[in-house]
């Protein structure tokens, strides 16, 4: 309850006034019939009566309201009632109503957040088991077939073992991705920031992915010849940024067009920032899916992506890494034309 409790003397004041007036009138009438009415005494009585009534009422009221509200808080156990004892007790009904309203609103918000989290958790557990089920059953299928006799056939044995191993590799790949995401989410992954040449790192990633791109005859290009200009030095965790670039370029290859191209550019954005853009001329993303691509396990085409070896976690990891650097990631895409993923980085001083 951020709002400081306000005190109101109105209720006690008016009540004391009514009581004092009534008692003074009664005393006045009584004195009148006795024939010894003294207005000075009556005024004195009125004042003393008013002060005593006011103090008693105010004190009782504060005690009563404090006790009642504490009881309510204790009963619903929504708030540690000790936090109330440090606060001034309000006897002003409006402030009280406001406080209770605010309290209820905060609790409602808390409950809603918990509900969303609970749904998210359920969905997450469902997604994880679904993702793990397919490769697990594949592995089990090959092993059972081998045990059922295929083991005796030398050529089949090797083939099945290789396939089972592929399934295991996929399991490891998914578990590693999940492990990284959960580490990011609990803040357990520390960044090792250092100064490095970003275009050199991009070239390294190009070299690593050359074969993969060649399978679809996709060219990996820079927008300009960065060797001919001043090196662009950035300050970030080089290993993690390599992973960001790898995930983005691998996606551009996976969802890229055969014989297409992927272009990477590094531009100076503002004084201390650069922006790295990865642009492809692949299948693109439909507008209704764009906002969801960074969600864990989100895939536009579930079967297609799985065929390509995707788990739906790649972009979620990318976003975590960029946000851990306090930077931003953007996506622009036109369905059927291509996509551009870009992220900002801090320039080295």
**Contact positions with ligand ADP (CB under 6 A) in 225-284:** 251-252, 254-255, 280, 282-284
* CA dihedral for 61, 67, 71, 73, sign (positive or negative): positive
Taking the least distance from each CB to ligand ADP, the nearer of 150 and 275 is: 275
Does residue 312 touch ligand ADP according to CB under 6 A? yes
- Residue listed under structure tokens 């074969």: 211
Does 177 engage in binding with ligand ADP (CB under 6 A)? no
The answer to whether the CB of 260 falls within 8 A of the CB of 281 is: yes
Least Å distance, CB 207 to ligand ADP, is: 20
- CB nearer to ligand ADP: give 99 or 305: 305
Exactly one of 310, 320, 322, 329 binds ligand ADP (CB under 6 A); which one? 310
> How near is the Cβ of 250 to ligand ADP at its closest, in Å?
8
Q: Which is nearer to ligand ADP, 99 or 311 (CB)?
A: 311
- Closest contact distance (angstroms) between CB of 196 and ligand ADP is 24
Q: Measured at CB, which residue is nearest to ligand ADP?
A: 310
Rounded CA separation 292/54 (Å): 63
- Binding residue for ligand ADP, selected from 201, 285, 321, 345, defined by CB under 6 A: 285
Q: Does 339 bind ligand ADP (CB under 6 A)?
A: yes
The one segment of 124-132, 192-200, 227-235, 294-302 that binds ligand ADP by CB under 6 A: 294-302
- The DSSP result for 200-260, as a single string, is HHHHHHHHHHHHHHHHTTPEEEESS-GGGS---EEEEEHHHHHHHHHHHHHHHHHTSPTT-
Q: Is 316 in the site for ligand ADP (CB under 6 A)?
A: yes
Min dist. Cβ of residue 256 to ligand ADP (A) = 7
Q: Is the Cβ of residue 236 or residue 314 nearer to ligand ADP in the bound state?
A: 314
Q: Are 245 and 266 in contact (CB under 8 A)?
A: no
Query: Cα–Cα distance between 279 and 330 in angstroms, integer?
Result: 12
Least distance between ligand ADP and beta carbon 223 (Å): 17
On whether the CB atoms of residues 259 and 280 are closer than 8 A, the answer is no
> Where do contacts with ligand ADP occur on this chain (CB under 6 A)?
251-252, 254-255, 280, 282-285, 293, 298-301, 305, 310-316, 339
């Amino acid at each position: 309850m951020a709002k400081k409790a306000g005190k109101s003397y109105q209720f006690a004041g008016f009540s004391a006034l009514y009581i004092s007036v009534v008692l003074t009138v009664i005393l006045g009438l009584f004195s009148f019939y006795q024939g010894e009415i003294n207005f000075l005494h009556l005024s004195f009585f009125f004042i003393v009566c008013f002060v005593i009534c006011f103090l008693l009422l105010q004190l009782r009221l504060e005690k009563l309201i404090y006790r009642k509200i504490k009881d309510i808080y204790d009963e619903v156990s929504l708030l540690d009632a000790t936090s109330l004892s440090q606060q001034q007790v309000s006897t002003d009904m409006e402030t009280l109503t406001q406080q209770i309203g605010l309290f209820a609103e905060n609790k409602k918000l808390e409950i809603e957040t918990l509900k969303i989290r609970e749904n998210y958790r359920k969905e997450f557990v469902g997604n994880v088991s679904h993702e793990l089920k397919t490769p697990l059953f594949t592995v089990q299928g090959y092993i059972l077939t081998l045990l059922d006799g295929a083991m005796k056939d030398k050529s089949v044995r090797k083939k099945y073992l290789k396939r089972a191993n592929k399934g295991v590799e996929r399991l490891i790949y998914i578990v590693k991705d999940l492990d990284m995401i959960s580490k990011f989410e609990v803040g357990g992954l520390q960044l090792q920031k250092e100064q490095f040449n970003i275009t050199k790192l991009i070239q390294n990633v190009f070299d690593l992915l050359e074969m993969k791109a060649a399978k679809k005859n996709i060219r990996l290009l820079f927008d300009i010849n960065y060797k001919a200009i001043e090196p662009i030095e950035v300050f970030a965790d080089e290993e993690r940024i390599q992973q960001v670039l790898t995930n983005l370029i691998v996606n551009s290859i996976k969802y890229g067009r055969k014989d297409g191209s992927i272009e990477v550019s590094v531009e100076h954005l503002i004084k201390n920032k650069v922006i790295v853009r990865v642009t492809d001329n692949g299948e693109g993303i439909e507008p209704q899916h764009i906002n969801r691509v960074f969600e864990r396990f989100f895939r536009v085409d579930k079967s297609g992506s799985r065929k390509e070896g995707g788990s739906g976690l790649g972009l979620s990891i990318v976003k975590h890494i960029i946000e851990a650097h306090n930077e931003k990631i953007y996506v622009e895409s036109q369905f059927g034309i291509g996509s551009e993923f870009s992220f900002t980085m801090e320039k080295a001083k």
